[in-house]
Amino acid sequence: MKVIEEEFGTAGLQSLPLAIIAKCYLGAPYEVHTLDLGAQMIIHHYKRSEPLPTYIEKARSLALHHAYSIVEVYTDQLIVINDDGSAIKL
């Protein structure tokens, strides 16, 4: 949080993602996982039949799409990050 505030000021703190989700490469039965990029670690691996928290579930299919590295989940939008690092707001 301190690094974000130093780089973007307090405006950057108002638009942090609620969650970050990505495809999980552990294989069956795991499908996606949530990430904590600040700590650079995976928070939780989700199995195919395991529901995600309601506010993240809408990003599951995008996280599984081969073109996207991660999906950032905000209260009012989703942002997909492509393999080349570019971002698309949905």
pLDDT of residue 5: 61
C-alpha distances in Å from residue 88, one per residue of 36, 49, 68, 76? 20, 28, 10, 14
Q: Give residue-wise pLDDT tens across range 8-21.
A: 555 545 577 888 99
Q: Give residue-wise pLDDT tens across range 21-78.
A: 999 999 999 999 998 766 677 889 999 989 999 889 999 999 999 999 999 998 889 9
H-run or E-run covering 2? helix 2-8
pLDDT of residue 45: 95
Mean pLDDT on 76-87: 90
pLDDT of residue 10: 54
Q: Supply 55's token pair.
A: 């506010």
